[in-house]
């Protein structure tokens, strides 16, 4: 896959997509059933939102709520079930038509109003006391609607209003991906199988496999080589769009034991304020899997570590120059005595390559 996507990006020297086309591609990608099935079937995601909304009944009962990027309208209906007086479900893509049916089907049309359009362009008849949104993308910020949530906050949320979730945090940990180990080792096994020595392919294989794509994958607990380190925190009541142009922070990890580090894993949590104690939706490899899985960033080459080897560095996440919705992750890192290395990663972008 790696070299195929490389090949495609050489064929198409990606021109900067104009903003309206980026948006169209993005919104179109949400008009099929599959993505909504995946999101609603993600029990951790949907149930955490449901629980958080029901636990916030005090803040929601009798209040006006805005659901940013409502999709099928499921969160809006949860809010109505929690006693909201009125919910504006704003959705830019054609799934809004289905949301209207779902709202009707649940006899909520007097409480939930589906509005087709982007939150930047819709005109609500009133300000709101609560904003709810499931805006998180892969590695938190890929394809993320966070900018839209912040726009809605600044334009429509009354002072002292509630945002659900209220906080997002980003974490990183060194990992050892055994599939990569196996794939690199494979070329050393060809001679025994077929009598032709192909071990010289391993360098080429390493360049292809340990490329600069952000790979979305489930990381197994056993492959995580240290306690994860938090490198950024976003407080949704105060963070600005300007600050999202570079979300960055330092990290320091300490290896559990002897292993070969061949990648970093990046994941996020979001936190909902609740009357008793906050509720956390986590995409950590140590917690039940979600559809976000984890973002895996391959080093150029594996590095051996032993117990307590320090792995330190700085991560910076920023929008790609090709498309503002696409995320780039730059990591400067140092493992043990090794001098600092740098690598920049991005999510391979099939949609714009295929359609440019």
- Domain range enclosing 64: 19-134
pLDDT tens-digit map of 201-233: 999 999 999 999 999 999 999 999 999 999 999
Tokens representing residue 190 in the block? 């060809």
CA–CA distance, 79 with 72 (Å, rounded to integer): 14
pLDDT at residue 49, as a whole number: 98
Residue 143 lies in a domain: no
- Considering the domain architecture, whether residues 39 and 173 belong to the same structural domain is answered as no
Residues 110 and 231 grouped into a single domain: no
Q: Confirm whether 251 is domain-assigned.
A: yes
Query: In this structure, are 128 and 32 located in the same domain?
Result: yes
Burial 122-137 (b: 16+ CB within 10 A, else e): bebeeebbbbbbbbbb
In a domain, 12, yes or no: no
Return d(Cα 43, Cα 53) in angstroms, integer.
Answer: 15
For residue 160, being part of any structural domain is answered with: no
- Residues 314, 229, single domain; the answer is yes
What is the CATH classification number for the domain harbouring 69?
A: 3.40.50.150
Question: Contact 70/99 with Cβ under 8 angstroms?
Answer: yes
Cite the active site residues. Answer: 134, 143
Residue among 36, 146, 24 nearest 97 (CA): 36
Residues 199 and 73 in one domain: no
Burial class of 260 by CB neighbour count within 10 A (0 to 12, 13 to 18, 19+) = middle
- 175 and 123 inside one domain: no
3-state SS assignment for residue 29:
coil
Residue whose tokens read 């055994």: 178
Q: Look at residue 151 and tell me if it is in a domain.
A: no
**Residue 88 and residue 115 in contact, taking contact as beta carbons nearer than 8 Å:** yes
Whether residue 91 contacts residue 112, with contact meaning beta carbons closer than 8 Å, is answered with: no
- Do 316 and 174 lie in a common domain? yes
Query: Does residue 159 sit within a domain?
Result: no
Share of the chain above pLDDT 70, in %: 89
Which pLDDT belongs to residue 323?
81
CATH number, domain with residue 269: 2.70.160.11
Q: Are residues 59 and 104 in the same domain?
A: yes
Q: E strands of the chain, at which residues?
A: 64-68, 86-91, 112-116, 128-133, 157-164, 167-175, 214-217, 229-235, 247-254, 259-272, 279-282, 294-305, 310-319, 327-335, 341-346
**Predicted TM-score of the model (pTM):** 0.89
Distance, CA of 201 to CA of 190 (rounded, Å): 10
What gap in Å lies between CA 16 and CA 352, rounded to an integer? 10
Mean pLDDT per block of 10 residues along the chain (356 residues) reads: 40 48 64 87 97 97 98 97 98 95 97 96 97 96 92 97 98 96 95 98 95 96 98 98 96 97 98 95 98 97 97 96 89 96 88 39
**142 part of a folded domain:** no
- Does residue 107 sit in the same domain as residue 250? no
Under DSSP, is residue 298 helix (H, G, I), strand (E, B) or coil?
strand
Task: Clarify whether residues 329 and 183 are in a common domain.
Answer: yes
In a domain, 270, yes or no: yes
Last residue of a domain, one of 81, 113, 134: 134
Is 128 in the same domain as 187?
Answer: no
Q: Which of 168, 179, 127, 177 is nearest to 283 (CA)?
A: 168
In a shared domain, residues 183 and 235: yes
Q: How far apart are CA 323 and CA 22, in angstroms?
A: 7
Q: Do the Cβ atoms of 301 and 210 come closer than 8 Å?
A: yes
Q: Give the count of domains, the chain.
A: 2
Give me 272's structure tokens: 């909902």
The whole-number pLDDT of residue 29 equals 62
């Amino acid at each position: 896959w790696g070299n195929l996507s490389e090949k495609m990006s050489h064929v198409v020297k990606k021109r900067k997509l104009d903003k309206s086309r980026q948006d169209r591609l993005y919104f179109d990608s949400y008009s099929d059933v599959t993505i909504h099935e995946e999101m609603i079937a993600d029990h951790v995601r949907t149930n955490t939102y449901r629980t958080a909304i029901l636990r916030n009944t005090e803040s929601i009962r009798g209040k006006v709520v805005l659901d940013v990027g409502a999709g099928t309208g499921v969160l809006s209906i949860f809010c109505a079930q929690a006693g909201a007086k009125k919910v504006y479900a704003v959705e830019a893509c054609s799934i809004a038509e289905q949301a209207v049916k779902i709202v009707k089907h649940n006899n909520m049309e007097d409480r939930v109003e589906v509005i087709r359009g982007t939150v930047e362009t819709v005109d609500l008849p009133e300000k709101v006391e609560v904003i709810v949104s499931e805006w998180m993308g892969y590695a938190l910020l890929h394809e993320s609607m966070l900018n839209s949530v912040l726009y809605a906050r600044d334009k429509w949320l009354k002072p002292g209003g509630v945002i659900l979730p209220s906080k997002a945090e980003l974490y990183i940990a060194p990992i050892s991906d055994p599939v990569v180990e196996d794939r690199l080792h494979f070329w050393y096994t060809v001679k025994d199988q077929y009598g032709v020595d192909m071990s010289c392919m391993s360098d080429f294989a390493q360049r292809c496999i340990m490329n600069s794509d952000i790979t979305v994958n489930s990381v197994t607990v056993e492959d995580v080589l240290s306690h994860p380190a938090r490198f950024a925190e976003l407080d949704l009541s105060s963070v600005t769009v300007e600050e999202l142009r570079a979300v960055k922070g330092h990290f320091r990890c300490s290896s559990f034991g002897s292993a070969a580090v061949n990648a970093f894993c990046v994941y996020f949590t979001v936190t909902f304020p609740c009357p008793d104690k906050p509720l956390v939706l986590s995409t950590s490899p140590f917690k039940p899997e979600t559809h976000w899985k984890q973002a895996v960033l391959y080093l150029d080459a594996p590095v051996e570590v032993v117990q307590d080897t320090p792995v330190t560095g700085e991560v910076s996440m920023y929008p790609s120059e090709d498309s503002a919705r696409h995320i780039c992750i730059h990591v400067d890192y140092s493992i043990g005595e090794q001098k600092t290395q740098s690598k920049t990663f991005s999510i391979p972008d099939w949609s714009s390559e295929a359609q440019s």
